[in-house]
Amino acid sequence: MLASRGASAYFTYLVGSGKGASVVEDLGAEIQALGDCLSLGTIAPSSAADLLHDITSITDEVLLIDASTYDERDWKLLDIRRSSLGRDGVMIFVTTPESFAKLMQTAPNLASWLGGFVFSHENEAAHIEEQRSQRLEALRAWAGKGDDEVVRAAEQGTLPRDPEYAEWLVLLGRGDLLDG
């Protein structure tokens, strides 16, 4: 984003349904963590018409727009009035894959602006859980043991001191069984 200073840049950030506001808040916090070097604005206009009205008074270098509820009508209006979106700085449209698909189908000119830089918000909790599950499977295969067997051995004080077993207990939420 710093490289986009003084220029116009348009990005799309895809989020799950109902996640627009929270992702805009999270992105805003991440951008602000860069320091005071960027001015940040966030808006959640309920329609494209509201966005076109509100954008005229916004001068922030980075503008996060919650467009997660936009439908065909909104994207068509923005396509027709896309020159009204022109401004120096970075605009990030946060929307859903479904809404973005409507944009790509009904707003070809706007799609040329927003379709080039599309990012997707991953559900970190689901990703972490997947990694946790994969690691537990690998530990089970490595030891040829099940979770209950490892917990029981730890409770009885017979668990080998290999670091893999400590990791295993922590991944199971049983770090309390580790010796101090």
Residue 73 in any domain: the answer is yes
Residue 36 has pLDDT above 80, yes or no: no
Residue 143 in any domain: the answer is yes
Residue 6 in any domain: the answer is yes
Do residues 63 and 129 both lie within one domain?
Answer: no
> Which domain range does residue 70 map to?
2-121
Amino acid identity of residue 29, one-letter, is: A
What distance, in Å, lies between the first and last C-alpha atoms of the chain? 46
**For residue 128, what are its two tokens?**
């972490």
Confidence band, pLDDT 50/70/90 cuts, at residue 5: low
User: Which residues make beta-bridge pairs with 40?
Assistant: 62
Do residues 116 and 129 both lie within one domain?
Answer: no
Alpha-carbon span 74 to 171, nearest angstrom? 46
Q: How many structural domains are present in the chain?
A: 2
Which CATH number fits the domain that encloses residue 21? 3.40.50
Residue 179 in any domain: the answer is no
Determine if the pTM surpasses 0.75: no
Q: What is the average pLDDT value for the chain, to the nearest integer?
A: 87
Name which residue leads in pLDDT, 126 or 52.
52
Do residues 81 and 34 both lie within one domain?
Answer: yes
* 98-125: pLDDT as tens digits: 999 999 999 988 988 887 788 876 665 6
